Amino acid sequence: MDLVTLENYAFTVTFVAYMTAAVIYIVYLGYKNENMVRVATLGTIVGFIANTALLGLRWKISSHAPFVNGFEFLVSFTWGIAGIYLLAEWRYKFRMIGAFVMPVAWLLLAYIAVIMPPQMKNAENLMPALQSNWLTIHVATAMVSYGAFALSLGTSIMFLIKQNMENNKSKSDFNKRMPTLDILDDISYKFIAVGFPLLSIVIVSGAIWAEYAWGRYWSWDPKETWSLITWLVYAAYLHARFTFGWRGSRAAWMSILGFIFVLFTFFGVNYLLSGIHAYGGS
């Protein structure tokens, strides 16, 4: 069996495993069954392993780090989301968070499977501008950073739902099973605190890489600009938290806004705007 066929199988396993996990986590919101939700965790683990194999196979096929085009970056993005989520589930033991995080990973793969043109999924030779070790540093830190921000997105959405139920004095089992507002706020903050310095490394390594490739550190390319805007949103979140004591719904909405900018930095810039980054997904 050739490597391309194995890669296709790895993608299919990843897609099905993340889809299964996402569906079961969502069902778990309204139907508490610990045995069932363990299947969701197992699905996430299987998907993460297949996701890792998929990246490894693409690396072998292309003979370079699989961070060049949109397909490779999205597959790396889902790897970061699943990996960060598994870390959070292990650390905090709140499986309900999976219902708000794993659907994001699955939807990114669904975009690849349904919408992305087939030619964009093919392995590509490295263009001269990409032949640098800074590429690996730049995108590897991005996928972990974005994974942390996705986790923060999920807990921020949970916070707003929980807050609404608390305000309406809901006595539902769903409300009782959700983590407290303080815990959700704290988890969201901690993962932004992890993602933000990594995003800083993404921008700095990108600037060094740009000087190596094009002879200038910064050119106000759309992706550079929107990456900076995203960085500023998360910087404002941390500044407001430390300086003005922002907690609760204001912090949650800022976390959600930050992830919207993360998505626009990839999808909006790649498909709506033009620039020197238009060839890839980093």
- Encode pLDDT of 168-186 as tens digits: 998 888 888 999 999 999 9
pLDDT at 281: 43
Q: Single out the residue of 109, 122, 105, 114 nearest to residue 44, CA to CA.
A: 105
Q: Single out the residue of 28, 23, 266, 280 nearest to residue 150, CA to CA.
A: 266
The pTM score is: 0.90
Residue 17 identity: A
On whether the CB atoms of residues 188 and 234 are closer than 8 A, the answer is no
Residues sharing a CB contact under 8 Å with residue 171, sequence separation 6 or more, in sequence order: none
pLDDT digits (tens, 9 = 90+) for 107-130: 999 999 998 888 778 877 766 666
Residues of the chain falling short of pLDDT 70: 126-131, 268-282
